[in-house]
A and B are shown apart, each in its own frame.
Chain A
Amino acid sequence: MSGLVNSTNAPSESDEALPGAADNGPSGVSPLAPYLLGLADDVMVYAQRLSEWMTNAPQIEEDMALGNIALDLLGQARALYPYIGSIDGTGRGEDDFAMLRDERDWRNVHLVEQERGDFADEMARLLWFSAYQVELQTALTGSSDDVVAGVAGKALKEVRYHLDHASLWVVRLGDGTPESHRRMQAALERVLPHLAELFDDDEASLTAAGLGVGVLPSSLHDAVVARVSRVADEATLTLPDGSPWRSRGGRAGIHSRPLGYLLAEMQHIARSHPGATW
């Protein structure tokens, strides 16, 4: 299983100058900002994706459950964006980050921007992403940065519940009817190519880990796979052994097609009515 989501290849695009970087003043720019932006963008984009389940889940109770999870993730992003704006020299606020950045400025992994698929697809993604988040936030509670550690402490309680929710569903679908088993198994295979990015040690994470603020993504890999494997076993599912291809580029602003559509939907009100409040 160790080769399941290979993490040895960091995307070469990460060396590129960031599109917004030229605007940043040379002084007071923290080297942590790119790393934290990756964390914040992951949860912001996934919050938007998950919120699409409102009115589309199997039952209204599940609408609520996924909506609650989306709001938890949105809260994590909202805690990080103003902090990033305060350390990257731009002074940007949460709306500037969420509503006024174009696709190439986003640093999220491809996993969270993929279209939502069917319910099994979402549970497969939520299982992997929240298992990753449980390990990530656990490690970040020991961050040398007080804000990062504080956000992680709050997030950890939330993502444990997300993992629990996804696990319950994966077990029920995997160990359910022949059709639910088949579709859950297919979803585990479809999500696989998008997982490796989570564990890439790019320059931003190497810098942040070196400063004791962040954690090396590759160091989370084995524990995350172990968590998901336990759930898959209980669900009588088989974790696929590997994928012939893998996504890359998200942390450098190179995205797959669905992100542009997601951003258009998420941002169009804020951009059509600049500065509007209610």
Chain B
Amino acid sequence: MSGAVTPPAETSAEVPETSADAPAEKSWPLWEVFVRGKRGLSHVHAGSLHAPDAALALRNARDVYTRRQEGVSLWVVRADDITASSPDEKDSFFDPAADKIYRHPTFYDVPDDVEYL
């Protein structure tokens, strides 16, 4: 946070006096929130929020996403740190899997007394 008080010289020359008093609102960074509903389940993306740092992001997540006993564990990840597939690449990424039904484990007979399968 150091150096936040002194704007670069060339900008301050161009910017009118009045706007120096009202700097453009700088928002906190965005964080993605993952909630584990109960032991044994995996964390699931619940939404996102703003927070100045990781510790406060975790607490904001607690306050925003677990108010109704939704979880027993929380992860927060900076949205900037997530590398996501692009909607433009959707066809080349995902369509080639469409006609390869032999990859699904559907060609086995599952015994009746096997749970969770």
Q: With both chains docked as a complex, state the minimum distance between the C-beta of A67 and any C-beta of chain B, in angstroms.
A: 8
Number of chain A residues whose Cβ lies closer than 8 Å to a Cβ of chain B: 15
Closest to A175 in B: B1
A65/B52 contact (C-beta < 8 A), A59-B28, A178-B5 known:
no
| Bound-state Cα–Cα, A65 to B52, Å | 14
Contact of B56 among A64, A168, A176, A179 (CB under 8 A): A168
Within 8 A of B (CB), among A17-76: 59-62, 64-65, 68
Number of chain B residues whose Cβ lies closer than 8 Å to a Cβ of chain A: 16
A61/B4 contact (C-beta < 8 A), A68-B67, A168-B55, A172-B52 known:
no
Of the listed stretches B7-15, B37-45, B57-65, name the one at the interface; the rest are far from the partner chain: B57-65
Question: Cβ of B36 < 8 Å from any Cβ of A?
Answer: no
| Bound-state Cα–Cα, A107 to B49, Å | 39
Question: Cβ of B78 < 8 Å from any Cβ of A?
Answer: no
| Bound-state Cα–Cα, A59 to B56, Å | 12
Closest to A61 in B: B60
Among A60, A61, A168, residue most surrounded by chain B Cβ atoms (within 10 Å):
A61
Contact of B64 among A64, A176, A177, A178 (CB under 8 A): A64
| Bound-state Cα–Cα, A61 to B29, Å | 12
B67 contacts across to A, CB distance below 8 A: 64, 68
Q: With both chains docked as a complex, state the minimum distance between the C-beta of A106 and any C-beta of chain B, in angstroms.
A: 29
Closest to B55 in A: A168
Question: Cβ of A104 < 8 Å from any Cβ of B?
Answer: no
Q: With both chains docked as a complex, state the minimum distance between the C-beta of B35 and any C-beta of chain A, in angstroms.
A: 15
A65/B63 contact (C-beta < 8 A), A59-B50, A168-B56 known:
yes
Nearest first, the 3 closest Cβ-Cβ pairs linking A and B are: A61-B60, A65-B63, A64-B63
- A contacts, CB < 8 Å to B: 59-62, 64-65, 68, 164-165, 168, 172, 176-179
Task: Give 30 pairs: A residue, B residue, CB < 8 Å, sorted on A.
Answer: A59-B50, A60-B50, A61-B49, A61-B50, A61-B51, A61-B60, A61-B63, A61-B64, A62-B60, A64-B60, A64-B63, A64-B64, A64-B67, A65-B59, A65-B60, A68-B63, A68-B67, A164-B59, A165-B59, A168-B55, A168-B56, A172-B52, A172-B53, A172-B56, A176-B1, A177-B1, A177-B4, A177-B5, A178-B5, A179-B5
